[in-house]
Structure 1
Amino acid sequence: MASLFKHSLVAVGLFGLTACANTSQVELANKDKAVAVISSIETGDTNAIAYINPINYKQHNLAVRDGLEGFGEVLALLPEGSAKADVKRAYQDGDYVFLHTEYNFFGPKVGFDVFRFEDGEIVEHWDNLAELASQPNPSGRTQLDGPTQVTDLDKTDENKAIIDNFIQTILIKGNMSKINQFIDNEDSAYIQHNSMIADGLSGLGKAMSDLAEAGRPMIYKQNHKILGEGNFVLAISEGVFMSTNVAYYDLFRLEDGKIVEHWDVIENIPPRSKWKNDNGKFGF
């Protein structure tokens, strides 16, 4: 599948990708196009590549070269029939689409992908990937289970502002005295999908305390982007985890102005000498 996919990238580029995309783009929303591109990693559906701009495709995965050729190179390295890409959640915020996906991509993984569209074509991509945990967390939850349905579309901007405030107040400034502005005290009020942390503020507090006692506190330095649709909001930040520079992708579900559920992926940022593109991990 990967080799066929790579050859199709070349063929589509030579014979006019944009013309190939015209009919299908009329039929699909940007969210559906993004899902099709990710799903094609498993299915080998070469038509999905028509949703990516053939001339201007900026890549922020630092292990991948810019453009369609970089995408094709990675796919060609996959052992035949090994790839899996099961999109669990898909949301759209203006020109951006963000996905939450279970992968088998050089081993089982969980990931977030963010795509930016211009004129109906994907022109930019960010992601964060981590190993898929083999066991549920202390509360019996996985990194991918839980609700998926969007509600409260009229509260999108309000919910994004709440998460922005939470990141700045709690995670960056560390003002824990204000935590109940964002999360209620009962353990049942905050569902946790991080593979190492239990539900509730008690679970979060224990994890943060254990890290601090070990001399490796979780540090958030800067938020780069807040994306949301209704009750789901994704925050993309950078900081330090386990003494290593990382990107934090945190997905929150909100109800009635409070955070009630959390999923995340933390990925190490490689040293500059190992980057295969010059776009950086963020650059929003």
Structure 2
Amino acid sequence: MLMIKTLFLTATLGLSLTIGSVYAQTPASVSRNPEALFTSPDPALNANKQVVYRILRELLDAGHWDKADELLSAEYLQHNPNAQSGRAAVVDYFTKVLKVKPQPLPERLNMKIIAVVAEGDLVTVLYPRAVRDPKAAGGSYTTTWYDTWRIKDGKAVEHWDPALLGEAPDLR
């Protein structure tokens, strides 16, 4: 009987360690030089990455929404359930709803970047994102957020992210 109890306890402990590791995670490492991620030896991919870099730096980081016409097409398609499509709607959202005011252009990006991937006309940027942990009062965990843009003729024409309906924007 003692052997059965020992085996049961050993199996239970082993299982609990395995289950615990399923919920454990290591936050992704961020780049020490995020600007370098927005370059490519391929001229077309480099140009597309530079459009996205400007969107992040000039629009999202510095709030210079007066430059949106240089970076977003008038027909900009938004696949975020909380945002309307169209450049004018995006500009209104940031300037009138969120009341973002222009700041001096940062020398470097203020946001942390994990990776930038470009393929064809798509550019995806990965960021670390701290999220409130519903199981731990006052606690949080880190996950990965992404934005993907489709670039055409030097402007973003379409955007995707994993936002959920009713979720507040995280401007990093």
- TM-score, length of structure 2 as denominator length: 0.52
SS in 2 for 1:262: strand
Cα distance, 1:202 vs structure 2? 2.2
Q: Which runs of 5+ in 2 are unaligned?
A: 1-16, 29-41, 101-108, 132-139, 168-172
Summarize the Cα distance change of 1:247–1:221 in structure 2 as closer, same or farther, 3 Å threshold: farther
1:67-112 residue CA offsets vs partner (Å, 9 max, x unmatched):
xx689735xxxxxxxxxxxxxxxxxxxxxxxxxxxxxxxxxxxxxx
Counterpart among 60, 67, 74 of residue 171 in structure 1: 60
Work out the CA distance in 2 between the residues paired with 1:234 and 1:257.
16
Work out the CA distance in 1 between the residues paired with 2:27 and 2:127.
16
8 A contact 1:232–1:252 mirrored in 2: yes
Aligned residues: 115
Cα distance, 1:177 vs structure 2? 2.1
Counterpart among 248, 252, 258 of residue 149 in structure 2: 252
Partner of 2:106: none
**Identical-residue share of aligned pairs (%):** 22
8 A contact 2:68–2:91 mirrored in 1: no
1:73 matches 2:13: no
* CA RMSD in angstroms, aligned pairs only: 4.0
Partner of 2:35: none
Greater relative contact order structure (CA < 8 Å, 6+ sep): 2
AA partner of residue 205 (structure 1): V
8 A contact 1:192–1:198 mirrored in 2: yes
1:202-229 residue CA offsets vs partner (Å, 9 max, x unmatched):
221333222339xxxxxx9414132211
Partner of 2:45: 156
Cα distance, 1:248 vs structure 2? 4.3
Work out the CA distance in 2 between the residues paired with 1:174 and 1:262.
18
Partner of 1:105: none
Dislocated runs of 4+, deviation >2 Å:
69-74, 205-209, 236-241, 244-248, 265-268
**Greater strand fraction, Structure 1 or Structure 2:** 1
Summarize the Cα distance change of 1:158–1:71 in structure 2 as closer, same or farther, 3 Å threshold: farther
Cα distance, 1:266 vs structure 2? 4.8
Work out the CA distance in 1 between the residues paired with 2:144 and 2:60.
14
Work out the CA distance in 2 between the residues paired with 1:256 and 1:210.
29
Q: Which runs of 5+ in 1 are unaligned?
A: 1-64, 75-123, 127-152, 214-219, 269-284
Q: Which one has a bigger Cα radius of gyration?
A: 2
